Amino acid sequence: MIRPGTGFPTDKASGTTPVARDAADVVRLAGSAPSLAHLDARSSVCRACPRLVEWREEVAETKRAAYAADQYWGRPVTGFGVARPRVLVMGLAPAAHGGNRTGRIFTGDRSGDWLYAALHRAGLASQAASVDAHDGLTLIDTRVTLPVRCAPPANKPLPEERDACAPWLQRELGWVLPSVKAVVCLGSFGWQAFFDQLRALDLWSVRTPRFTHGAEVAVEEFTVLGCFHVSQQNTFTGRLTEPMLDAVFARAVELADRPAATK
């Protein structure tokens, strides 16, 4: 595990960053964070969910054979990208040997290869490759975030873990949403979590609309777009293809009033 404040590129925490040890601490520390950078720092040292803390640290210790030489991040993964995005991408949770290894969301795994290549084709990322936190990738008018910040066993967080983590996302949304024009929710989990937060922020008052790939829902100044998750279950089976993903991001670019990418 990477210790806070030891110089890792995505690490905003230090040895004195306050640590949440239960759900009440998350509410308190998210609510009192004075800036997005402080929020990222605080959430990156969170220990509120015992099952997820144990799993993420065990994975970081035992490692996958292919990454035996890597020092795993082994901590919660925060949002990545600009602080005032026009496009927001909502994922699910870090992958055990992806974000939990590299310390950056959707980085170092096949899902990230798909996502960042699509963002690059859409003109929203500086490069297609997302290998590790040292690779120089930057996002353009875009932020990628997630409703559960620790890698869950079998990629399935429990409802109480989703709820415990929600205040980190809610506070982040409070800062970033004012500039957002398009929100791309990858999968039904992110879709539901996003509408839950809109309700908490008094931006949505009725039932969550049905998730479908290609769904569009207008909310205040932005539009929420549904997209199948870039998981290998979807990309390997052809349920989600590159043209399908490109069409969603082309629509996000249009809504964000950004120039379309030149091929």
Where do contacts with ligand SF4 occur on this chain (CB under 6 A)?
A: 26, 43, 46-49, 52-53, 76, 148-150, 161, 164-165
- List C-alpha distances in Å: 155 to 8, 22, 142, 190, 231: 25, 21, 24, 13, 10
Beta pairing partners, 182? 87, 223
Cα–Cα dist 152/227, whole Å: 22
Q: Retrieve residue 262's tokens.
A: 């030149």
Task: Report, in Å, the least distance between residue 21 CB and ligand SF4.
Answer: 9
85 or 94: whose CB is closer to ligand SF4? Answer: 94
Place of tokens 């929600």: 166
| Residue pair 77/103 in contact by the 8 Å Cβ criterion | yes
Task: Report, in Å, the least distance between residue 27 CB and ligand SF4.
Answer: 10
- List C-alpha distances in Å: 214 to 134, 147, 232, 236: 33, 21, 19, 19
Q: Retrieve residue 122's tokens.
A: 């859409």
Task: Report, in Å, the least distance between residue 63 CB and ligand SF4.
Answer: 20
Task: Report, in Å, the least distance between residue 238 CB and ligand SF4.
Answer: 31
149 or 258: whose CB is closer to ligand SF4? Answer: 149
Residue type, 199: R
57 or 132: whose CB is closer to ligand SF4? Answer: 57
Task: Report, in Å, the least distance between residue 239 CB and ligand SF4.
Answer: 27
> β-strand 142-145 against 80-81: which pairing, if any?
antiparallel
Count the neighbouring beta carbons within 10 Å of the beta carbon of residue 156.
11
164 or 185: whose CB is closer to ligand SF4? Answer: 164
| CA dihedral over 62, 68, 69, 75, signed as positive or negative | negative
46 or 248: whose CB is closer to ligand SF4? Answer: 46
184 or 193: whose CB is closer to ligand SF4? Answer: 193
Task: Report, in Å, the least distance between residue 34 CB and ligand SF4.
Answer: 19
